[in-house]
Amino acid sequence: MTLVRALDRFFRHDAAGGVLLMAAALLALIVANSGLSDGYHALLLKKFSILLDGEGLSKPLILWINDGLMAVFFFLIGLELKREMLEGKLKSPSDVMLPGMAALGGMVAPALVYLVLNWTDPVTRGGWAIPAATDIAFAVGVLALLGKRVPAALKIFLLTLAILDDLGAILIIALFYTKDLHLDYLFLALAPLAGLYLLNRAGAHRIAPFVLLGTVLWVLVLKSGVHATLAGVVTAFFVPLKDKYGKSPLHGLEHALSPYVLFLIVPVFAFANAGVVLKGLTFSDLFAPLPLGIAAGLVIGKQAGVFGMTWLIVKAGWARLPYAVTWAHIYGLACLAGIGFTMSLFIGGLSFDDQAHMNAVRLGVLAGSAISALIGYSVLLFNAKPVETKEPHPAPAIHN
C-alpha cells in the first residue's frame, strides 16, 4: 500500500513526465550501446502492415511511432491550444504579448545560430528548425523541481511560451516539411473534415465519431505527403468546448488523454528516437557543424532569443514582467526553453532519414538539452526563495 501511495504521489507531481522522459532517453542510450543494440535497431525497422486486398499502410515500427503515436501527441497539443485560446492563457492579447514575442525570438535565434554553422552544407542546412522547439514536459518538469521557491507566474509564463512554441513548430512542419504532395488524397480528406465540422456544429457529445473521422483524416493526410501528425491538430480543433448538453467534450478528452500521452506515448517516442550510438564517436564529433549547430542553437540561441526579446519588449514599455518575476528568473526560464528534446528529435527525423545524420542529430539534441537544463536549473536554484503566490494589489494598466 505504501508503494501504491508513493507511485500515486509520483505520477501526480508536475515533474513526473520529465523524469519518465529522461529515464526513457537514458534507457535508449544504454540499449543502443549494449549487446542489445542490433535487436533494438532491428525492432524499430520491423515492418507492421494494415492491408486490405493488398492496399493500405506498411511502415517500419519507428514510423508508426513517429507518424502514428505522435499524431495523438499533437492531438493533445491541439486540444490544449483550443482550450487556451477560448478560455485560458491565450484568450487575452495582452497576456499573450510578452510570452508570444519571447517564443518568436526563441524560435528565430536558434535557427539563425544553426544556419551560421551549417550554411555551407546544403544537406545539413535543411535541419535549421531542429533547435527551434521547446519540450514542455521536460522544461516544466525541471521548473517543478523548484516548487514554490519560484513565482507561480513564472510557470504560467513558461507554459504560455511553450504552447506558442508548439504552435510555431506545427506551422513549420506544415510549411517546410511537406514532400511529394498528392492533391487527390488532400481532396479526399475534405470528406472527414466536413464530417468533423458537422459534428462540431451539432455540439456532438460522443467522442467516438471524432476519433473515427480523425483516424480517416490521418490516413488520407499521411497518403497526401503532408505530415500526418497535423491531422491530430486539425481534428482537435473540431472537438467542441461545449456540447448540446452544456458539458465539455474537449475538457473531458484532454483530461483523459493527458496521462497516456505524458506517461506512455512521449516516453515510447523518446526510447525509439534517443538511442545515440556512441561507438566510434570522439569528443571532436560533437563539434561537427550538425550537432554543434543544434546544441549551440538550443543553448545560445534560445537564451539570446527568449531573454533578448523579453528585454526589448519590456524596455520598450509594451509589456512588463509578471508579478514577483525578476530578470534572473527570465534568464533561467530562457535556459530551460533550450530543452528541445521531443520536438527537436521529431523535427530531426523529418529533416534527415539516414542513420549517420540522425545519430548526429540525437547527439546535438541530447547535449544541448542537457546543458540547457543544468544551466536553467542552477540559475533558478541560485535565485530561488519562497515567494508569494498571489499578487497583493491589482496591477496598473499599461498605457502606450
- Residue 50: which H helix or E strand, with range? strand 47-52
Assess if residue 395 is contained within a domain.
no
Q: Do residues 274 and 366 touch, judged by C-beta distance below 8 A?
A: yes
pLDDT at 393 over 70: no
Confidence grade of residue 190 (pLDDT, cut at 50, 70, 90): very high
Could you count the other beta carbons within 10 Å of the beta carbon of residue 318?
14
- pLDDT value at position 3? 67
Range(s) of the domain holding residue 353: 21-382
Place of cell 503566490: 389
What is the mean predicted confidence (pLDDT) over 219-235? Answer: 84
Q: Is residue 57 part of a domain?
A: yes
Question: Please, which residues bridge with residue 50 across strands?
Answer: 57
Residue 238 forms part of a structural domain: yes
Residue 253 pLDDT exceeds 90 = yes
* pLDDT-derived band at 191, boundaries 50, 70, 90: very high
| Rounded average pLDDT over 169-179 | 80
User: What count of other Cβ atoms lies within 10 Å of the Cβ of residue 6?
Assistant: 10
Distance between CA atoms of residues 24 and 208, nearest Å: 31
Mean pLDDT across the stretch 323-346? 90
Is residue 314 included in any domain, yes or no? yes
Is residue 391 in some structural domain? no
CATH code of 302's domain: 1.20.1530.10
Residue 78 scores a pLDDT above 60: yes
Task: Tell me what pLDDT residue 194 has.
Answer: 95
In a domain? residue 6: no
Q: Which of 297, 300, 308 lies closest to 344, judged by CA?
A: 297
230 within 8 A of 221, measured Cβ to Cβ: yes
pLDDT score, position 53: 65
Angle formed at CA 155 by CA 111 and CA 328, multiple of 5 degrees: 70
User: What is this structure's pTM?
Assistant: 0.80
Q: Is residue 4 part of a domain?
A: no
What is the Cα–Cα distance from 62 to 84, expressed in whole angstroms?
32
**Span 48-75, pLDDT tens digits:** 877 776 666 778 888 888 888 888 988 9
399 domain-assigned: no
**Stretch 198-220: mean pLDDT:** 92
Total domains, the chain: 1
pLDDT > 70: percent of the chain = 92
